[in-house]
Structure 1
Amino acid sequence: MKNKYISMIILAILLGVLIGIQFKSSYQEKFQLSFVDRQFVGDINAIKKENAELKRKLDTLNENLKFIEKNTIVNDIEKGLKEQVDSLKLILGYLDVKGPGMTIKIDTKEEVNLGFVMEEKKILISLINEIRIYGGEVISINNQRITPYSEVTLAGNHININSTPIAQPYEIKIIGDIEKLNRYINKGNVLIDTMINMYDLNVDITSSKELIIYKAEREKKTRYVRNIEDM
Structure 2
Amino acid sequence: MKKILSKLAYAFVFSLLGFLLINRFIYYYEHKAVALTTNDHNQLDIVSEIELLKKEKALIEKENSEILDDIKAYEDSISTRNSYAAKVKEELETNRKILGLTDVSGPGITVYLLPKAEVFSQIDLLDSTDLYFLVNELYSASAQAISINDSRLTIQSVIADSTNQQISINDILIRPNELITIKAIGNPDLMEDDLINYDTLKFRNLKNYKVTIKKSDNLTIGRYNGKLNADGLNIVESAN
- The TM-score bracket by the shorter chain reads 0.5 to 0.7
Worse overlay, 175-184 or 164-173: 175-184
Q: How many Å separate the matches in 2 of 1:152 and 1:90?
A: 21
Letter aligned with residue 131 of structure 1? L
Say yes or no: does 1:180 pair with 2:190.
yes
Change (3 A) 1:107 1:83: same
Tell me if structure 2 keeps the 8 A contact 1:123–1:191: no
**Alignment partner for residue 212 of structure 1, among 200, 220, 227?**
220
Summarize the Cα distance change of 1:179–1:76 in structure 2 as closer, same or farther, 3 Å threshold. Answer: farther
What runs of 5+ residues in structure 2 fail to find an aligned partner? 1-80, 231-240
Partners of 2:115 and 2:125 within 8 A in 1: no
Provide closer, same or farther for how the CA distance between residues 220 and 78 of structure 1 changes in structure 2, counting only shifts above 3 A: closer
1:180-223 deviation per Cα after TM superposition (whole angstroms, max 9, x unaligned): 2233234x222213368x7421111111122111111221446x
Within 5 A, what are the aligned runs for 1:95-110?
A: 95-109=102-116, 110=119
Q: Could you tell me how far apart the structure 2 residues matched to 1:202 and 1:195 are?
A: 14
For residue 191 of structure 1, the aligned residue among 178, 195, 200 is 200
Q: Which has the larger radius of gyration?
A: 1
CA distance in 2, matches of 1:170, 1:113: 17
- CA-CA distance at 1:173 after TM superposition: 0.4
Contact kept? 1:195, 1:203, Cα under 8 Å:
no
Which of 166, 169, 193 is the aligned partner of 1:161? 169
- Aligned-pair distance for 1:161? 0.6
SS in 2 for 1:118: coil
Q: Gaps (5+ residues) in structure 1? A: 1-73, 223-231
RMSD: 2.5
Percentage identity across paired residues of the two chains: 26
In structure 2, how many angstroms separate the alpha carbons of the residues matched to 1:132 and 1:113?
30
Question: Which of 120, 129, 144 pairs up with 1:111?
Answer: 120
Aligned partner of 1:132 in structure 2 is 139
**CA distance, structure 2, for counterparts of residue 195 and residue 180 of structure 1:** 22
TM-score computed with the length of structure 2 as normaliser: 0.54
TM-score where L is the length of structure 1: 0.56
Q: Deviations over 1:115-134 (max 9, x none)?
A: x64327x1110111121121
One-letter amino acid matched to 2:193 = R
Q: Give distance in 1, aligned partners of 2:228 and 2:103.
A: 17
